[in-house]
Amino acid sequence: MSKLQPARGTRDIYGVEARNMTCVVDTFRRVAGTYGFEELATPIFEFTEVYKRPLGEASDIVSKEMYTFEDRGGEELTLRPEFTAGVCRAFISNGMQQNLPCRLMSYGPAFRYERPQKGRYRQFHQINAELLGQDTPEADIDMIAMAWRLLRELGLGEKVVLHLNTLGDKESRTAYKEALVTYLNKFKGDLSEDSQRRLESNPLRILDSKDEGDKKIVTDAPKLSDHLNETSLNFFETVKKGLDIVGVPYIHDERLVRGMDYYCHTAFEFVTTELGAQGTVLGGGRYDGLIEQLGGPATSGVGWAGGIERLAMLADVGEAPERPVVIMPMGEAATFKAFEIAEMLRNKGLTVTADRSGNMKKRMNRADKANAAFAIIIGDNELEQGTAMLKRLDDGTQSEIAFADIAAAIQFN
């Protein structure tokens, strides 16, 4: 055990970063609320099957990223690697199909065994939204519009680009997979090891391989857009038309396939060039077979997840904490009076801390470091007269004020 360090890929989050992340979550909850989304908090661990079945054995997540363990009772459990499967499990467990469509928002930690780097951790955090029970492309438009509004409210409208693709319906995808595998088989020996494996299990994933050799081979691969049937084409056209009307700019990115087996039709990612290889800040798409696969009633779904760390790094929108008022009692009687005054000021919404130790100089130094705006000094003399010394720390001006008038005398400008 390396002493006093968090486990590899995990971090302590505090200060500016914590404030930025909280602001991302607050903005998400507010924006999703305006689209009618309600909160759902699922457990952080589920039976392993909940993730294994829908994501597919061949997915990166199941094959190499999950934190899976057996608990003391012998249950096979997995720490949440993503939200969608757990949300769908909750949808089924709670009979939510009685009330469609279902708009569910969630946020919290997720866990993947990955190689840690900037913007990529083993414990990270996501905001997540799912719209269940609407199989029409208009639902996809709603979801992307909501993501776009969130990103703009975070000030990221100029920093991210929407990559949009369609995976078509099952029929189109099957036809395309065949054409793709026939083509890729010609280069089988030149493909990366990962991609050779994917050729059997998950050939579409080869399209977004990061391997340079794979990328070259993929350049001339048959295109999914040439294999879309009419239903799939119409679906995609409607999505694009809706995005134009809502005013969401996008580029059609034929490479975009997304990692999970359950996606169909719309796939999208908002990408930035400012975070290096960790450029995807938010991604999602449509998944029409997932709930059935988990044993629920056939219900379509469309959703997305955003990485809170990556969004927070880009957005830097967290608000600085309120500047505190520091109350400095000198002596025992004053200390008790100070509790009373502090509570009175907090009733008015002020941030108040107490500094009860050391000489005046030390206390003033600490107040400066804490970016305090005012100091309230109560000594024995003041106590007797029912007054305190109020000091404005920005310019050093001070005045003696009756206890009852302190709140009114504290003006922040």
Nearer to ligand ATP, 283 or 301 (CB): 283
Assign 400 to helix, strand or coil. Answer: strand
Which token pair is 298? 């056939």
Cite the DSSP H helix spans in 119-169.
137-153
Contact segment (CB under 6 A) with ligand ATP among 120-128, 143-151, 249-257, 367-375 equals 120-128
**CB of 232 vs ligand ATP, minimal distance in Å:** 22
Nearer to ligand ATP, 316 or 368 (CB): 316
Longest CA–CA separation in the chain, Å: 94
Nearer to ligand ATP, 11 or 366 (CB): 11
**CB of 30 vs ligand ATP, minimal distance in Å:** 20
- Compute the CA torsion angle 68, 310, 8, 51 (nearest 10 deg): 0
In the window 244-283, what residues touch ligand ATP (CB under 6 A)?
A: 259, 278, 280-283
CA-based torsion, 115, 118, 120, 124: positive or negative: positive
Candidate list 121, 176, 262, 268; residue touching ligand ATP; CB under 6 A? 121
Contact segment (CB under 6 A) with ligand ATP among 49-57, 117-125, 136-144, 196-204 equals 117-125
Pairing between strand 264-272 and 280-286? antiparallel
Pairing between strand 38-39 and 102-111? parallel
Candidate list 307, 318, 324, 329; residue touching ligand ATP; CB under 6 A? 307
Q: Does 63 bind ligand ATP (CB under 6 A)?
A: no
Candidate list 19, 120, 173, 337; residue touching ligand ATP; CB under 6 A? 120
Q: Does 309 bind ligand ATP (CB under 6 A)?
A: yes
DSSP 112: -
**CB of 16 vs ligand ATP, minimal distance in Å:** 18
Q: At what angle do helices 308-315 and 15-34 cross, to 10 degrees?
A: 110
**CB of 112 vs ligand ATP, minimal distance in Å:** 5
**CB of 114 vs ligand ATP, minimal distance in Å:** 5
- Cis peptide preceding 249, ω within 30 of 0: no
Token pair 């998950």 in the structure block, residue: 202
Name which of 20, 30, 21 is nearest 319 in CA terms: 20
Assign 94 to helix, strand or coil. Answer: coil
Assign 78 to helix, strand or coil. Answer: strand
For 33-180, where are the E strands, in sequence order?
A: 38-39, 45-47, 68-70, 76-79, 102-111, 123-132, 160-166
**CB of 243 vs ligand ATP, minimal distance in Å:** 19
Which helix (H) or strand (E) element contains residue 201? helix 193-201
Site map 125..164 versus ligand ATP, x via CB under 6 A:
-x--------------------------------------
Distance CA 266, CA 282 (A): 14
Task: Determine the residue with CB nearest ligand ATP.
Answer: 307
**CB of 405 vs ligand ATP, minimal distance in Å:** 51
Candidate list 124, 148, 374, 403; residue touching ligand ATP; CB under 6 A? 124
Task: Give the binding site for ligand ATP (CB under 6 A).
Answer: 82, 112, 114, 119-121, 124, 126, 259, 278, 280-283, 305-307, 309-310
